[in-house]
Structure 1
Amino acid sequence: MTVVITVCAAMLGLPFGFAAGELKVGVYGGYFKDSFDKHIFSDFTKETGIKIESVAEPTGEAWLVQLEQAARAGKAPADVSMMAQVAMLRGQRAKLWVPLDLNKIPNSKHLLPQFIHRYPDGQVDGIGAVAWYITLVSNTNVFKTAPASWADMWNPDKKNSLGLLALASNSFLLEITAKTFFGGYDILGSKEGILKVMNKLAELKSNVKLWYRDEGQFQQALQSGEIPMGQYYHDVAGLAAADGHPVRSTFPKEGGVNDSGSWAVSRASKKLEEALVFINYMSRPDIQAKLSRKVGTAPTVRRDATDLTDNEFASVSSDIEPIIPLYQIYTGELSDWVNQKWTEMVTK
C-alpha cells in the first residue's frame, strides 16, 4: 500500500512523505464559487485527498484588507486566494504573499508568461488562476437588441438603468471611457487627462441605479430586470444565461475588459505544501479547459496546450482587441488622488 501511495503522490507532484490535509481556498462568491465547488474542488479532493474548504471572497479591496489584518495576527482566513491584479500589487507592498517555488509547480510551464506574477526582485508571488472579461450585460426582456458600444450606457434611454462596479480599480471605467471617447489610453497619463475622463464619466450619474460592491446584488437585479443593464463578468453572465435567466453578455466594439486573477498564498498560512499541490493542479491544461467549459473563464495556459475547440474558446474570449487595465493608476503615486477624485466626481 505504501508503494502505491508513493507512486500516486509522485504522479500528482506531491512531496515525498506528504500527508493529505485540508486547505482553505478563497474564490469570488455567487455562481463563481458554486461552480468551483461543483466542478473543480470535489475532483481535486478525489485525486489528491486534500479537502477544500471554499471561502466566498468579496470583490474589490475588502478581501485584501481582511487578509492583511488577519496576517498581522498570524491568521489566514484562506490559505490560497484568487486575487485580482490590483490587489496582488497592493499585497506585495505588505509582503503579504509567500514566494512560490516554480520547481514545485511543474505545470507552470504551460502558463502564458503574463500569468506568472512576480515581486520586484523576481520572486514569484502569484500564478494565473483564471482570466476573465468584464463586458456589457443586459436583460433581454427589457432590451430586445444587444448594445453595440460602451457608449450606449450614456444614452438618455438608459436613465436609472445601470449597475456599475463601484471602484475605479475594479470597474476600469476610466480605461473604458478613454478608449470609447478619447481614442485610447494616452489621456490617462496625466492628472489633467484623468479629470477629463472623469468629467465624461460624471455624465453617467443619472443613468446609474447602483454602484455595486456585491456581485450577487447586481446579478439578482439584472436577472429580474430591476437594473437591466451594466457591466459584469462575461463568465458569470454566461452561467446565468445557461440557467435560463434573461441575461446576455456583449463584447462591445471597443472590446471587453481583460482582467485576471492569480493564486496567492498568505504569509500566515501553514499549508504551503498543500497550496503548491493545489496551484499545480489548477495549472494543468485539462483543468484550465475544464474551467472554460464549466465556469466560463478564459484559460491562463497556452491555448494550444488545451483541447478547446474554436467554438469553445470563442465562448469565453473574443477576437475583438480587449481593453487592458492600467493597473499602475491604482497602485502608483496617483492612486490616492484617483480614489479621492473618483468618489468626489463619479460615484458620490
Structure 2
Amino acid sequence: MQKILNGPLSRRTVLSGALAATGVLAMPSILRAQDKSLKVGVYGGYFQKSFDEHIFPEFTKATGIAVESVAEPTGEAWLVQLEQAAKAGQAPADVSMMSQTSTLKGQSTELWVPIDEKKIKNFGDLLPQFVNKYPDGRIAGIGAVAWYITLVTNTDVYKEAPTSWEALWDPANADKLGLLALVSNSFLLEVTAKTFFGGTNALDTEEGQIKAFEKLAEVKPNVRLWYRDEAQFEQALKSGEIPMGQYYHDVTGLAAADGQPVRSTFPKEGGIQDSGNWVISRASQKGEEAHVFIDYMSQPSIQGLMSRKVGTAPTLKKDKLDLTAEEFAAVSSEIPPIIPRYDLYTTKSDWLNQKWTEMIAG
C-alpha cells in the first residue's frame, strides 16, 4: 500500500469534528469522551483521512473514547521515534499501526505491551498470520490491515489474464515489466521461492536464498522499470508503455473501475499479502483503552467497514465477515497468499540488500 503511505499528511482529530457537529445538549457526553481518549498512529495521507472520516468516529460513538489520530512517517522512522520516546517515558501514540518488520524489531527491546487475548472477543477468528508473537508466546501485535500486491496487466496489450507468476520469466515479455525496486518491499524472493522451489521455506538457508536470487536474476531481460515511484509505473501501465508488472490490487481495481485498461490477477501461487499490526507502546498509560480499541477493530463488522471504506483486506476468517463475494474480491482472494519472510528482513537485511544489489539491481 506504498501508494497510500507516501501521500500528503493530513491531521484531523475526531473530537474537533464531534464538537463542531454537536450542540450544547451533547456536551456532557463530549466531556466524558474527553475523559477517555487515545492517541492512535496511522499511516498518513489517504489512510489517515479514511480512518478519520469512516472509522474513528464510529469507535468513539460506540465506546465514548475520543481518538486523536497521529500521522506516522513512513519506513522505520516511527519505530525509532517510539523507541526514543519510550525511554523518556512518553508515548507519541498509545496504539500504532506498525509494519510486520518494525513489529519484530520492536520486540527486541520489549517496546510493545503484550496484548491480552482474553480482551479480544474475536481473537480466535483472526487468520494465523495476523497474530504477531514474542518468542515466548506473548502477543506483540494483532493484524490491523492487510493489502495485496498482485500480477497486473494492461488489457489492451494482454487480452487474456496471466495465471501464474511464471509470466514474469516468459521470454515473450521481454522489456515489458515494471517491478518494485527493493528486496524488502517487492517480496520477489518469496514469489520466486513459491513459484519454482515449492514455497518460501526454500529461503530458510543461505544456499536457498542464493538459488532464489539466481532464478530471479533470469527475469532481468524482461524488466523495463525497477520502480520506487508507484505513480510512474501506474501511469505506464495505464498507457500500455509498461504493460505488465506487480502492483497493488486495490489501487489497480480502482483504476479499472474508472475505465482504465488494467486488471489485477491473483496468480495460482497466490498474491503477496503485506500487512500492518496494532501495537501498544510500553510507555502508554492507556492500556485499558488500547485493548478496547484493538477489540473493536477486530470485529467482523468493522473489518468489513474498513474493506469498503479504506480498501484494506480483512484480517479475520472469510466466513466470519459480512462482505459480499464482490466486496471480498475487491480487496482479497481465497487463494492462499504468499506471506513475506519478515524474519529475514530483520535478521539478514544487510546481506539480502547486498545480494540484491549484486545480482538483481546491478
TM-score range, shorter chain: 0.7 to 0.9
Summarize the Cα distance change of 1:310–1:88 in structure 2 as closer, same or farther, 3 Å threshold.
same
Deviation at 1:78, TM superposition (A): 4.3
Residue identity matched to 1:282: M
Extract unaligned runs of 5+ from structure 2.
1-24
1:263-300 C-alpha deviation (Å, 9 max, x unpaired) = 11233445544433322221111001122233333322
Extract unaligned runs of 5+ from structure 1.
10-16
Residue identity matched to 1:96: L
Confirm whether residue 21 of structure 1 aligns to residue 37 of structure 2.
yes
Deviation at 1:142, TM superposition (A): 4.6
Residue identity matched to 1:256: G
Give the structure 2 partner of residue 340 of structure 1. 354
Choose which of 330, 334, 344 in structure 1 pairs with 2:345.
Answer: 330
Residue identity matched to 2:193: A
Summarize the Cα distance change of 1:227–1:278 in structure 2 as closer, same or farther, 3 Å threshold.
farther
User: What TM-score, normalized by structure 2, do the two folds share?
Assistant: 0.76
For residue 128 of structure 1, give the secondary structure of its aligned residue in structure 2. Answer: strand
Choose which of 128, 141, 154 in structure 2 pairs with 1:126.
Answer: 141
Give the structure 2 partner of residue 304 of structure 1. 319
Cα distance in structure 1, aligned partners of 2:77 and 2:229: 11
Summarize the Cα distance change of 1:106–1:84 in structure 2 as closer, same or farther, 3 Å threshold.
same
Matches within 5 A, 1:7-86: 19-21=35-37, 23-27=39-43, 29-30=45-46, 32-47=47-62, 48=64, 50-55=66-71, 57-58=73-74, 61=76, 63-69=78-84, 71-72=86-87, 76=91, 78-86=93-101
Summarize the Cα distance change of 1:109–1:77 in structure 2 as closer, same or farther, 3 Å threshold.
same
Matches within 5 A, 1:83-102: 83-102=98-117
Summarize the Cα distance change of 1:42–1:232 in structure 2 as closer, same or farther, 3 Å threshold.
farther
Matches within 5 A, 1:166-245: 166-213=181-228, 215=230, 218-219=233-234, 221-223=236-238, 225=240, 227-245=242-260
Residue identity matched to 1:97: W
C-alpha contact (below 8 Å) 2:150/2:246 kept by paired residues: yes
Summarize the Cα distance change of 1:238–1:77 in structure 2 as closer, same or farther, 3 Å threshold.
farther
Summarize the Cα distance change of 1:24–1:311 in structure 2 as closer, same or farther, 3 Å threshold.
closer
Deviation at 1:250, TM superposition (A): 0.5
Give the structure 1 partner of residue 272 of structure 2. 257
Cα distance in structure 1, aligned partners of 2:84 and 2:337: 35
Cα distance in structure 2, aligned partners of 1:258 and 1:200: 22
Summarize the Cα distance change of 1:227–1:183 in structure 2 as closer, same or farther, 3 Å threshold.
same
Residue identity matched to 1:343: T
For residue 275 of structure 1, give the secondary structure of its aligned residue in structure 2. Answer: helix
C-alpha contact (below 8 Å) 2:72/2:78 kept by paired residues: no
Cα distance in structure 1, aligned partners of 2:223 and 2:79: 27
Residue identity matched to 2:292: V
Give the structure 2 partner of residue 150 of structure 1. 165
Choose which of 267, 270, 277 in structure 1 pairs with 2:282.
Answer: 267
Cα distance in structure 2, aligned partners of 1:18 and 1:264: 22
1:39-92 C-alpha deviation (Å, 9 max, x unpaired) = 32343344445134252553x545444544554566655443322322221221
Deviation at 1:164, TM superposition (A): 2.6
User: What TM-score, normalized by structure 1, do the two folds share?
Assistant: 0.79
Larger displacement relative to structure 2 (149-158 or 168-177):
149-158
Deviation at 1:18, TM superposition (A): 7.5
For residue 252 of structure 1, give the secondary structure of its aligned residue in structure 2. Answer: coil
Summarize the Cα distance change of 1:204–1:76 in structure 2 as closer, same or farther, 3 Å threshold.
farther
Cα distance in structure 2, aligned partners of 1:75 and 1:218: 40
Deviation at 1:167, TM superposition (A): 3.2
C-alpha contact (below 8 Å) 2:152/2:262 kept by paired residues: yes
Matches within 5 A, 1:105-124: 105-124=120-139
Deviation at 1:161, TM superposition (A): 4.1
Cα distance in structure 1, aligned partners of 2:71 and 2:87: 20
Cα distance in structure 2, aligned partners of 1:344 and 1:329: 18
Larger displacement relative to structure 2 (317-326 or 268-277):
268-277
Summarize the Cα distance change of 1:105–1:253 in structure 2 as closer, same or farther, 3 Å threshold.
closer
Cα distance in structure 1, aligned partners of 2:217 and 2:241: 22
Cα distance in structure 2, aligned partners of 1:242 and 1:54: 31
Residue identity matched to 2:275: S
Summarize the Cα distance change of 1:168–1:23 in structure 2 as closer, same or farther, 3 Å threshold.
same
Cα distance in structure 1, aligned partners of 2:350 and 2:297: 35
